[in-house]
Chain A
Amino acid sequence: MLKTLDLPALRQLLCAIAAEFELRVPVQPAPGMRLLAPWPVAEIALFGPPLQPKPTAAFFPQTQTLLTLGADASVELPSPPVRPLALFGLARADLQGIAFLDRFFSAPPADDVYQRLRRDALLIGLSGNCGTERKFLPLAGGHCDFELIAQGTGWWGRAHTPRGAHWLRELPAAEGADLTWLNEKSAQLIDEPQQLLARAAKLLVQERVPEEFWREIAARCILCCGCNQVCPTCNCFCVEDQLRGTNVERRRVWDSCQLDAFMREASGHNPLGTEALRTRRRIFHKLVADPQRWGEYGCVACGRCDAACPTGIGIFALCEQLVARYS
């Protein structure tokens, strides 16, 4: 059943959640920039561009301590959060990104550092008229405890888990609310990028994309790693040990498959020793390898890599060229 909320009711709901969770909500520190900040905030950014940094960073930040080894051979793990996290304002693509990482980090051997932050966290989606200038964003339809669908001056609350239903239980029902049309609109929005990815993936599987294409794209890559840094499904990290006094602190740091040392062996040999091979791999991984392993693309069509790429070769720009040239 759909519930209805206005702004005061939303604030009240978030206050109640904040009493039990470490709540983060979107704020807009500058035009064009929307990020998750700890509650309470002066003003919640209820619509706007995609969250930056990607919300998956709440569980898997760019730099994260894994453990500390003492001189006495003791092992200290980072302390779990006092209260579990609650993230509000997640778009459909953000939630899919979190679901992707959940599956990746819980596949054996499970990653307990990720789980420690992720376990018990409450995810709250935000959909409907909540994009830049209130542009319509597709309904989440799942992957969260509940979602709020922005429409008119308020929101419809839709629970996806019993926990979600619990938080929405006291809100009035949205009389006569009907999601049929919004679902259709969402399906259209979701379908278009999926079609493009599917066409590109097919060409890749059929090996119809020549080396030359990857060389051309790679020649434009300035190795900023931005495409990996912003991608909610990218999960590669490297490990750094630092000697701090008599302790060794082990951290992980987001890695990037565009870098030469990503696969370089100690001998200097590199199975992915050219930029063309690495660029091909990044796209191949997301569009061919991930579907084979997980049954879905490693791209949730969030649009971040296209915005972050300084030379205009994010995944959608690249796939458009690829499809135009080889299909």
Chain B
Amino acid sequence: MTINATLTTCPYCGTGCNFYLLADNGQLTGVAPAADHPVSRGQLCVKGWNAHAFVDHPARLTQPLIRRGGEFQPAAWDDALDLVHSRLSRLAAQHGPDSLMFFSSAKVSNEENYLLMKLARAGYGTNNIDHCARLCHASTVTGLAETLGSGAMTNSLSCFDVTELILVIGSNTTEQHPLIGSRILQAVERGARLIVADGRRIRLAQHADLHLRGTNGSDVALLCGMARVILDEGLEDRAFIESRCENFDAFRTSLAAFDLQRVAALTGLGEEEIRAAARLYAGAERAMIVYAMGITQHSHGVDNVRAVSNLALLTGNLGRPGTGINPLRGQNNVQGACDMGALPNVYTGYQKVEDSLIRRKFSAAWGTRLPEIPGMMATHAIEAAAQGKIKGMLILGENPMLSEANQGLVKRALEKLEFLAVIDIFPTETAQLATLVLPAACYAERDGSYTSTERRVQRGRQAVAPPGEARTDWQILCALLQRCGLAADYADPAAIMDEIATLTPSYGGISYARLEGDSVQWPCPDAGHPGTPILHRAQCTRGKGRFSPLSYRPSVELPDASYPLLLNTGRSYFHWHTGSMTRRSHLLEREEHEVQLEIHPEDALALKINPRQMVQVRSRRGCISARALLTERVPRGQVFLPFHFAEGAANALTNNVLDPEAGIPEFKVCAVRVTPC
């Protein structure tokens, strides 16, 4: 009997917990949290505790599959890889490289994201590469890059231990970043104040000094209203504004439109509540803003982020311990996937593809010409595929059939493709539509590095062998790079990180040798650099912090007579995104095995819906069935659906209207009608 324990990074949320995977005779038997790790501190959430459970599930993909005559048939690796390359290069030759689209994944390592973006750009000559950050924090990457110069969480998780006040807006932290949520609870326990702005009565709301239950989609109004109160009452940080910010006057002028009466009307909140929130926030010496999808997933997501940024700048809550603008990144490597340039407009470290000097640097390193025009966003690529403009796609570890807005459109788009290759660990709903499926190793079966929400770069380590013939993503991508005639003879992921470090200033000092000891938070420009727990200390990354004048834009599809309820969507605590892993983890699936629609008891009564009754939920785009969960967690007029369930896909209903700058869909607001089945 052999027994081993392998230290690795949790594959679920972006908190970045570490644990030991326990294996007996090559089979995972459980998980033990890492006691000395600065994030986990010997603790995990329920998903972390069950992170071993799906790894040897019998549904794992174990051999390459090629669709022949409508049926998937097993194929040899070389044949499958040859087919991917020949089909993609033929489409590129016939229709131009921009007829291809590459979806990378926030679930694969930094090295694998780097290789896929290299493959798209250097191998097939297109900047059409993106990943699911488009669906979660695209607004942050765009918004904070503009106002501060960096789209990442400004502070560290350890800041929760020293802050005086936390404003949580649009983040159900105890369920979605549980070990950050627990830090917030601990902070409250030691006396920190808590403001929660969320239409739903989330767990944190029970502990809040103030719970603002505003209407979904009215955040710009709320945040600008708070800013207005702060200025009207002289609570702003004058010195900070003068020495560290720009564009203040324009911002101040724009606030004229946000008098409290109007803000109260737009948000559905009382004027006193808004005033109290503003005073509390501005009154704290050190205040943190924490936000997530409730801010970003709107057709005005970037404006929401700007409004958050304004509030922090106005009160000087930046660049110090216990302050900052703290977008919580969802996936365990969504920060890393962005850092690695799995985005249409930047290479690694947010170096712009339009910048000829940067392009020349990457050209020289990779030994090939590179495309100049920024590529297509994932959400636009789905639209383009539906119109027949994108002809070929390679999707690595993503499941847009369940994760993108408006499933009907996504299905039409994927079905219309001339060639779709999917690399994944399970036969997902997206893989079912592919021409070819390649079996990949999961997190427990590969080495790599991941970057957590607090910019902490840390190692994932192989604990067991991949099933059957499955290969690691980096090996698969190297084989494709070689077919494109590019050098890709990396001995291991460490060698790939060495290449990343030479091309990426913020990762310049990161190497596997360094990650063996403590993890490190970027920017870390050289080997001697200690890493950067807090950004924007003496000045912002862009120099001055930039105030953004804003105006209010309502959500695009609001309830009306035909579709009278507002549908909010998101994750539940026990499942992860499209469920391919958690729904194959026994304890998690046992806990929540069907899609439930949260509906307020009074709305249910009016609609003659009984507790636990099956209901139909219909929007202008689709219709699903769900079980009614009568709860005051949602306010009247709003219903909530998690998006994990293929058999009741929330995204069959959601509206694919996009933020004009960030291309993020409005997952948090659309109109639906609910009827008993």
Cβ-closest chain A residue relative to B22: A53
B537 in contact (CB, < 8 A): no
Within 8 A of B (CB), among A48-93: 49, 52-53, 57, 61-64, 81-82
A261 to B185, CA, bound (A): 25
Contact with B along A10-53 (1 / 0, CB 8 A): 00000000000010100001111101111000000000010011
Cβ-closest chain B residue relative to A261: B591
Contact between B58 and A52, CB atoms less than 8 A apart: no
Within 8 A of A (CB), among B18-68: 20, 22, 24, 28-36, 42-46, 48-49, 52-53, 57-58
Given contacts A62-B31, A63-B28, A81-B1, contact A30 B591 (CB under 8 A): no
A253 to B35, CA, bound (A): 23
Given contacts A32-B42, A64-B29, A312-B189, contact A222 B36 (CB under 8 A): no
A135 in contact (CB, < 8 A): no
Of B7, B20, B33, most A-chain CB atoms within 10 Å: B33
Within 8 A of B (CB), among A236-257: 238, 240, 242-245, 251, 253-256
Contact between A253 and B49, CB atoms less than 8 A apart: no
How many A-B contacts are there with CB distance less than 8 Å? 131
A176 in contact (CB, < 8 A): no
Which one of B34, B45, B49, B57 lies within 8 Å of A33 (CB-CB)? B34
Contact between A38 and B1, CB atoms less than 8 A apart: yes
Contact between A238 and B587, CB atoms less than 8 A apart: yes
B181 in contact (CB, < 8 A): yes
B472 in contact (CB, < 8 A): no
Given contacts A33-B36, A53-B30, contact A223 B1 (CB under 8 A): no
Contact between B1 and A224, CB atoms less than 8 A apart: no
Q: Which chain A residues lie closer than 8 Å to B33 at the CB level?
A: 52, 226, 308
Contact between B587 and A32, CB atoms less than 8 A apart: no
Q: Which chain A residues lie closer than 8 Å to B32 at the CB level?
A: 35, 52-53
Cβ-closest chain A residue relative to B3: A38
Contact between A63 and B44, CB atoms less than 8 A apart: no
B179 in contact (CB, < 8 A): yes
Q: Which chain B residues lie closer than 8 Å to A238 at the CB level?
A: 586-587, 590
B43 CB to closest chain A CB (Å) equals: 4
Contact between B30 and A62, CB atoms less than 8 A apart: yes
Interface size on B, residues (CB 8 A): 49
Contact between A24 and B7, CB atoms less than 8 A apart: no
Contact with A along B507-536 (1 / 0, CB 8 A): 000000000000000000000000000000
Given contacts A30-B34, A259-B591, contact A219 B206 (CB under 8 A): yes
B2 in contact (CB, < 8 A): yes
Cβ-closest chain A residue relative to B206: A219
A164 in contact (CB, < 8 A): no
Given contacts A219-B206, A219-B207, A225-B49, contact A32 B35 (CB under 8 A): yes
Contact between A224 and B44, CB atoms less than 8 A apart: yes
A251 to B58, CA, bound (A): 13
Contact between B42 and A63, CB atoms less than 8 A apart: no
A129 in contact (CB, < 8 A): no
Q: Which chain A residues lie closer than 8 Å to B22 at the CB level?
A: 53, 57, 61-62
A322 to B592, CA, bound (A): 32
B51 CB to closest chain A CB (Å) equals: 11
A30 to B623, CA, bound (A): 52
Which one of B42, B175, B573, B586 lies within 8 Å of A308 (CB-CB)? B42
Instruction: List 7 A–B pairs whose Cβ atoms lie within 8 Å, in order of A's numbering.
Output: A57-B22, A82-B1, A224-B44, A224-B182, A238-B587, A245-B58, A310-B43
Nearest first, the 9 A-B pairs at minimum CB distance are A62-B30, A32-B36, A310-B182, A32-B35, A240-B586, A310-B43, A61-B29, A53-B32, A261-B591
A residues lining the B interface (CB < 8 Å):
22, 24, 29-33, 35-38, 49, 52-53, 57, 61-64, 81-82, 219-220, 222-226, 229, 238, 240, 242-245, 251, 253-256, 259-261, 268, 307-312
